[in-house]
Amino acid sequence: MKMRWKALHESLHGFGAPCLLLFCVILALAGPAMAADPALEKALESMDPSLLRGKTQAQIRAELPLSAAYRDETSPLEEEIEVLVDGEVRAVSIVRYLSDLEIMQYRGDVLWTCIAAFLVFFMQAGFALLEAGFTRAKNAVNICMKNIMDFSIGTMAFLAVGFHLMFAGPEVNLFWLGETTATQWGFPFWLFQCVFAATTATIVSGGMAERTKFHSYIIYSVVICAFIYPTFGGWAWGSLLDGEGWLESVLGVGFYDFAGSTVVHSIGGWLALAGTLVLGPRIGKFDAKGRPRAIPGHSLPFAVLGGFILWLGWFGFNPGSTTTFDGMLARIAVMTNIAAAAGALGAVATIWLVARKPDVGMTVNGFLAGLVAICTSVDVVGPTGAFCIGLGGGILVVLSVLFLERVFKIDDPVGAISVHGVCGAWGTMAYAFFGVESFSLTVLAAQAIGVATGFAWAFGTGMALFLGIKYTIGLRVSAEEEVAGLDILEHGNEAYSGFQIDPHA
Amino acid sequence: MKKIEAIIKPFKIEEIKNALDAIGVKGMTINEVRGYGRQRGHKEIYRGTEYNVEFIPKVKIDLVVEDAMLERTLETITEVARTGKVGDGKLFVLPIENAVRVRTGESGPSAL
């Protein structure tokens, strides 16, 4: 999600404003220009007059947006250019309007960011099918309702509070969109961020499936999208708009998470971990001696279709994270695909060795694990790096699912903790090995700080949230309701009316 | 008259129906059922955990034949349904007191 403003502007000026002698663009506020500065006059003389539209610098300056983060095609921008005055290179700050090419670039950014956001939105459908397929038919309506609700409620929570917490600069109001509505860029940016926030919430529903009260689910969805996700997101990504996050500069090198292995996926995974621990396993998941029993999902083709939809959605999730319409997006899409395929291969090989059968559920988890793991460094790795990160994710997810179930006795029906939590952490750490030119302990430490902070924050707030719900309105349905299925008693619906449903437990 | 209850592997039903047709059996009723015999279900693996499927899907055929047809019908079903592997199924034979054909009101063997 790192917006590369500098790179964008450099590429633009190459053809957008050829009359400039020398330039270097600095987004941050440059010093105010003096009216009678000879360097400024020279800079203005050398500029295409159409970029000034006959206005004085003071007039244009009055139209500047809140900060350069709130851009659009009509607002002027401020840039620092260097001019030669009396044989001396001087830097001056000028304000000007966008050239036609820059306007087209801006519109391209909007278009691509929106298309990517639509693809990420479609991941909600993927999650709904994946989670419904991996669970029993008697709970399919409940799973679908949770996926509808966490997007709808998540949208409102992120709109009302979350977006402000994550991205607002000092003394700026972004509650209910707030000051972003003054410029166009706030909209595509908000949409893309909103679908990300909802993704985090929806990850949790899979881990806590088949035994959580519906109204309790609504409450925690609000808290996740309004508070837990945006707070950590602000620490790691605040400067993508106008905020500032301490993780972005930690240890000097900064914590790097391009598209959210940690910020989105691990946070969701660790929240699911807290939720499953507070909830406890489903009835019948472990026998009297504590050995895990299989509770097969009711539609593996649904789960596979959901997995493929998520894979498709990831082509928006990762390549869209530049929020820039440029040549990078194909490269990022290719690396995304390599990691997903490698994840599937890693998982199928591992489960084949362990259980002597190529299990389809684990294979779906495998490519999802590869996709989760590659998010952090998808914009910087090469094909080999993407392969290694994806393969590692695929192997790790199988071992993690079996380990959590057999050793920690954690019941995670869809593997959400392993796919998103564990493989998100793996991908974030892997940046230090595959994403940088030469390995550095400082980079590794910065990534570790991000991973550890993410775990402490999500698991800590998650435990507080779920325990709070458990001891007030209750988190888990009654045993009677769990056995009968949540569909009929929570929603009054049947997913497959007319079919005799085998409770299978 | 005798009633045969044949519990067989589901994929064999078409073949059996055609074979019985050929020897002159005039009708049958089938049910999708689940059950187990000596093989005690079978094992499946889901996400690395083995579990036992105790009741395996089978098809149950109910058909009534005249006494003279009984042996031939049993032989035909046995021959066609056999794969030689566990789970081929079982046949049960029961006496039938009477039969009535609803449309015509005929009773006895001619109702079949």
Please give the share of chain A, as a percent, with pLDDT higher than 70.
92
Same domain assignment for residues A275 and A155 = yes
A296 touches chain B (CB under 8 A): yes
Distance between CA A300 and CA A360 in Å, rounded?
8
Residues of chain B found within 8 Å of residue A354, distances taken between Cβ atoms:
48
Q: Are A77 and A95 in contact (CB under 8 A)?
A: yes
Q: Are A3 and A258 in contact (CB under 8 A)?
A: no
Mutating which of A285, A348, A357, A403 best tests the B interface, going by the most B Cβ atoms within 10 A?
A: A357
For A285, the closest chain B residue by CA position comes to B49
pLDDT at A59: 94
Domain boundary among A63, A98, A133: A98
- Could you give the C-alpha distances from A70 to A166, A231, A325, in angstroms and in order? 15, 21, 17
Same domain assignment for residues A135 and A92 = no
What is the tens place of the pLDDT at every residue in A36-72?
688 888 888 888 999 999 999 999 999 998 888 888 8
Q: What is the DSSP string of B94-111?
A: EE----B-TTT--BGGGG
Question: Helix (H, G, I), strand (E, B), or coil: what is residue A343?
Answer: helix
pLDDT confidence bin for A75, thresholds 50/70/90? very high
Q: Are A459 and A273 in contact (CB under 8 A)?
A: yes
B46 touches chain A (CB under 8 A): yes
The least confident of A88-97, A371-380, B24-33, B40-49 is B40-49
Residues of chain B found within 8 Å of residue A362, distances taken between Cβ atoms:
47-48
Same domain assignment for residues A235 and A262 = yes
What is the C-alpha R_g of chain B? 17
Q: What is the DSSP string of A256-284?
A: --SS-IIIIIIHHHHHHHHHHHHH-PPTT
pLDDT at A504: 52
Q: Is A500's pLDDT higher than 80? A: no
Same domain assignment for residues A247 and A132 = yes
pLDDT at B82: 95
- CB–CB contacts below 8 A, A to B: 35
State the average pLDDT over residues A245-266: 96
Cβ distance of A355 and B48 shorter than 8 Å: yes
Nearest to A354 among B44, B46, B48 (CB): B48
pLDDT confidence bin for A17, thresholds 50/70/90? very low
Cβ distance of A292 and B45 shorter than 8 Å: no
Structural domain includes residue A418: yes
Residues of chain B found within 8 Å of residue A353, distances taken between Cβ atoms:
none
pLDDT at A113: 97
Cβ distance of B47 and A294 shorter than 8 Å: yes
Same domain assignment for residues A137 and A84 = no
Q: What is the dihedral of CA A204, A152, A466, A479, to 10 degrees?
A: -80
Q: Are A347 and A363 in contact (CB under 8 A)?
A: yes
pLDDT at B58: 94
The CATH fold of domain B2-111: Alpha-Beta Plaits (3.30.70)
pLDDT at A312: 98
Strand partners, A23: A81
The least confident of A32-41, A78-87, A293-302 is A32-41
State the average pLDDT over residues B90-103: 96
Edge-to-edge strands of the sheet including A77-85? A22-23, A77-85, A88-96
Which ranges in A356-478 belong to alpha helices (H)? Answer: 360-374, 383-406, 416, 423-430, 441-470
What is the tens place of the pLDDT at every residue in A400-409?
999 999 999 9
pLDDT confidence bin for B10, thresholds 50/70/90? very high
B14 touches chain A (CB under 8 A): no
Q: Are A473 and A259 in contact (CB under 8 A)?
A: no
Domain boundary among A74, A98, A122: A98
Q: Is A14's pLDDT higher than 50? A: no
Indicate the domain borders of chain B.
2-111
Structural domain includes residue A8: no
pLDDT at A4: 44
Q: CB A346: neighbour CB atoms within 10 A?
A: 26
Distance between CA A22 and CA A39 in Å, rounded?
13
Structural domain includes residue A497: no
For A364, the closest chain B residue by CA position comes to B47
3-state helix, strand, coil in chain B (%, to 5): 30, 40, 30
Residues of chain B found within 8 Å of residue A295, distances taken between Cβ atoms:
46
List the structure tokens of B87: 């789970």
A53 touches chain B (CB under 8 A): no
Q: Is A345's pLDDT higher than 70? A: yes
Domain boundary among A98, A121, A147: A98
Cβ distance of B49 and A294 shorter than 8 Å: yes
Cβ distance of B47 and A357 shorter than 8 Å: no
For residue B47, the Cα-to-chain-centroid distance in whole angstroms is 35
pLDDT confidence bin for A269, thresholds 50/70/90? very high
List the structure tokens of A136: 């029993």
Place of tokens 């500029």: A47
Distance between CA A286 and CA A296 in Å, rounded?
14
Structural domain includes residue A456: yes
Residue A248 makes CB contacts below 8 A (sequence gap 6+) with A235, A236, A237, A238, A239, A254, A255
Residues of chain B found within 8 Å of residue A351, distances taken between Cβ atoms:
48
Question: Helix (H, G, I), strand (E, B), or coil: what is residue B6?
Answer: strand
Mutating which of B45, B47, B54, B55 best tests the A interface, going by the most A Cβ atoms within 10 A?
A: B47
Structural domain includes residue A362: yes
Same domain assignment for residues A129 and A87 = no
Distance between CA A213 and CA A398 in Å, rounded?
29
For A406, the closest chain B residue by CA position comes to B49
The identity of residue B79, as a single letter, is E
Mutating which of A299, A359, A395 best tests the B interface, going by the most B Cβ atoms within 10 A?
A: A359
Same domain assignment for residues A408 and A321 = yes
Q: Domain count of chain A?
A: 2
Cβ distance of B51 and A293 shorter than 8 Å: yes
A window 384-423, beta carbon within 8 A of B = 398, 401-402, 405, 415
Q: Is A130's pLDDT higher than 60? A: yes
Distance between CA A224 and CA A374 in Å, rounded?
24
Cβ distance of A296 and B50 shorter than 8 Å: no
Residues of chain A found within 8 Å of residue B45, distances taken between Cβ atoms:
294, 355, 357, 359
pTM above the 0.90 mark? no
Nearest to B48 among A296, A297, A362 (CB): A362
A102 touches chain B (CB under 8 A): no
- Most confidently modeled range among A183-187, A198-202, A455-459: A455-459
Distance between CA A251 and CA A233 in Å, rounded?
18
Q: Is A319's pLDDT higher than 60? A: yes
Q: Are A292 and A405 in contact (CB under 8 A)?
A: yes
List the structure tokens of B9: 């592997």
Distance between CA A271 and CA A282 in Å, rounded?
18
Cβ distance of A415 and B47 shorter than 8 Å: yes
Mutating which of B49, B54, B56 best tests the A interface, going by the most A Cβ atoms within 10 A?
A: B49
Same domain assignment for residues A285 and A263 = yes
Structural domain includes residue A461: yes
B54 touches chain A (CB under 8 A): no
The identity of residue A150, as a single letter, is D
Structural domain includes residue A311: yes
- CATH number of A472's domain: 1.10.3430.10
Cβ distance of A293 and B47 shorter than 8 Å: no
Q: Which of A289, A409, A354 is nearest to B48 (CA)?
A: A354
Residue A151's domain spans which residues? 103-491
pLDDT confidence bin for A165, thresholds 50/70/90? very high
What is the tens place of the pLDDT at every residue in B75-89?
999 999 999 998 899
Q: How far is B99 from chain A (nearest CA, A)?
A: 32
B window 74-93, beta carbon within 8 A of A = none
Q: Return mean pLDDT, chain A.
A: 91
Same domain assignment for residues A171 and A244 = yes
Q: Are A260 and A1 in contact (CB under 8 A)?
A: yes
Q: Is B92's pLDDT higher than 50? A: yes
pLDDT at B50: 87
